Amino acid sequence: MPQMEVARPVPGPVPASSLWKFLRLHFEFARVGFVNTLAYRLRYYTGIVTYFIYVSVYYFIWKAIYEHSASIEGFDFAHLLTYIGVGWIIRSLYFNNIDQDLAYQVIEGRLAMDLIKPVNIQFMYVARAAGEAVFRLALLTVPTALILFLVYPLRLPASFGGFLTFLMSIGLSFLIVAAINFAVGTFALRLQSILGLLRAKFFLLELFSGLLLPMTFFPHIAQKILDFMPFQYISYIPMLIYLGKLHGIDLVRAMGIQVFWVVALMAIGDGLWRWSTGKLIIQGG
Amino acid sequence: MKRHWRLLARYFAQYAKVRLAYKADFIIAFFSSMAATVLGFGFVLVLFTKIPRLQDWSFDEVMFLYGFSLIPLGFFNVVSWNLYDFSELYIIEGRFDRVLLRPVSTLYQVVFEKFRLESLQEVVTGILVVGYCVRRMHLELGAMDFLWFAVTVICGAGIYLAVFLILTAVSFWFEDRVGIVPPVFNMLNFGRYPLTIYNVFIQFLLSWIIPFGFATFYPTTHFLGRTAFTLYFHLVPVVAAGFTLLAVVVWNRGVANYSSTGT
């Protein structure tokens, strides 16, 4: 079993061959995620329509909001429309279903198959989700972006360099969402049903990630509290970068905190996974 | 009919026992449900700290609309649990065979086999929010209004159930989940805003294709004294009946088309 070495964290500097194996293995997981998604192609056609309807609905809601004011919290309507529209476009990329996948593994008793694999389960799920994300980029994100940019007066990124930074920031958003979903998904091992928990998490991310409205719209005290949470680093920060509202040291700091949250949340997910599998009863299987 | 009522009571009692056996589970589910209710409205709450009105709708009116929508939605959520996993649990795993063997309508069994008890929280929250708004706006409601309130709540729950039954019945033909249910589920939220803010296309969509407007917006216009929508308000029972009938027809055709996977 050559892959056994990957299972345990290697103390000291990682030998090059081990890192290579790690990457190759996780590339394989990503490929499986990509191919699995291929089977559900049909979903992505409905997905494009769905995202178009979402953005359209929010377009009208915001139009009604701006009826009485030209600028709210430093956003005029054109800026805000770009914020919302592009925010939904990138959501189609960083979004994943790791929590639901984990829940189904538990319900269907297939979790035992995950447990016998000599790999870090979290990395395996994240790699698979990354494969899915590549698939969605081609079949959902790009077509949705094309349609939305044609129909609505969305603004192009502030600068080319800014756009590249924005792409990097979305990559980190993806990892934050993946880590949160994995952590929430681990509760499926201990609870009878996590449907309610998933629903609460869904609304939590929608509101506090900045997808529905910029963080500056929140009352001051709420903003202060949310600063200490990972949620706004999912959508709000990448969108500020896209709009060219973050520069220099602020930009570096924001992306540094993104990296911090990726590491912290993955550590939490790892801890939760250990705690959940500590006492486990597999149903059937 | 009497037998069905008794059966419903038994189903409910049985399922309540099952749920309450896992107390920690139930408590977490309850608080998650509460959180979802509050966060779902968070967008509007935050927004109204920045703007005085949404078009010509005041904060109290929008809150009334949201509170009202929670009541039929709560009733719907109590019985809708089985619909989400229907194709996984009943079709692919073949549980539907068992349903077919019993001398009660298949629809009745699928809808009432599981209850999401914690969603009754939404009904209570909805009534409290509506009551609060009625006091704040000094709305004068007569006996007829209370009757209409009950009727439109039932119609609203019926519309929600009918829409999702139709979508669920699709899995009798296509085993693969097409992924229509989650987006429509999210569209529930769009029916919670005054429909007048949308353009004609979306108004049409939310009125006649996926008639969530008839479950929430049009009923509330009556209680808020917005007479421009009186005609639509009176159509609420008609639309509810029509879509319920459609759902039953589609469901029965789906059942006729069902062939067991043999697992």
pLDDT in tens, A197-239: 888 898 899 999 999 999 999 999 999 999 999 999 999 999 9
pLDDT at B175: 63
Taking CB atoms and an 8 Å limit, are B32 and A199 in contact across chains?
A: yes
Single-letter code of the amino acid located at A251? L
Q: Are residues A65 and B47, on separate chains, in Cβ contact within 8 Å?
A: yes
ipTM of the complex: 0.81
In this complex, do A47 and B42 lie within 8 Å of one another by their Cβ atoms? no
Helix, strand or coil, per DSSP, at residue A75: strand
Mutate to test the interface with A, among B19, B25, B34, B39 (most CBs of A within 10 A): B39
Query: Given an 8 Å threshold on Cβ–Cβ distance, is B202 in contact with A60?
Result: yes
Reported as a pLDDT band with limits 50, 70 and 90, residue A269 is: very high
* Closest residue on chain B to A72 (Cα): B50
In chain A, the residue whose alpha carbon lies closest to the alpha carbon of B117 is A196
- How far A198 CA lies from chain B's nearest CA (Å)? 8
What φ, ψ does residue A212 adopt, rounded to 5°?
A: -85, -35
- Per the CB < 8 A criterion, the answer to whether A233 and A211 are in contact is no
Rg for chain A (alpha carbons), in Å?
20
- Residues 6+ away with beta carbon under 8 Å from B179: A40, A42, A43, A46, A47
Q: Mutating which of B50, B73, B180 best tests the A interface, going by the most A Cβ atoms within 10 A?
A: B50
Q: Which of B153, B54, B118 lies closest to A191 in space, CA to CA?
A: B118
C-alpha A281/C-alpha A285 separation (Å) is 11
A196·B198 Cβ contact <8 A: no
B190 touches chain A (CB under 8 A): yes
Question: Which range has the worst mean pLDDT, B55-64, B167-176, B217-226, B242-251?
Answer: B167-176
Tell me the per-residue pLDDT of A120-171, one tens digit each, with 9 for 90 and over: 889 999 999 999 899 889 989 999 999 999 999 999 998 898 999 999 999 9
Q: List the structure tokens of A4.
A: 């056994």
Residue in B36, B183, B190 closest to A200 by CB: B36
Cα–Cα separations (whole angstroms), residue B40 to A103, A201, B134, B146, B219: 23, 11, 21, 27, 21
Q: In this complex, which of A56, A68, A212 lies closest to B43 when CB atoms are compared?
A: A212
Looking at residue B244, its pLDDT comes to 95
- Three-state SS across B23-79? HHHHHHHHHHHHHHHHHHHHHHHHHCCCCCEECCEEHHHHHHHHHHHHHHHHHHHHH
3-state secondary structure of A191: coil
Identify the DSSP state of B180: -
CA A46 from chain center: how many Å?
Answer: 20
Scan for tokens 């990354």, then name that residue: A130
CA A92 from centroid of its chain's CA atoms: 9
Query: For helices A41-65 and A142-151, what crossing angle results, to 10°?
Result: 30
Nearest CB to B197; choose among A43, A64, A72: A64
pLDDT, position A285: 44
Residue type, A69: S
HSE-CB for A133 with a 13 A CA cutoff:
25
Q: Is A72 helix (H, G, I), strand (E, B) or coil?
A: strand
Alpha-carbon distance A103 to A99, whole Å?
Answer: 6
Does B94 touch chain A if contact means CB atoms closer than 8 Å? no
**Backbone phi and psi for residue B11, each to the nearest 5 degrees, phi listed first:** -55, -45
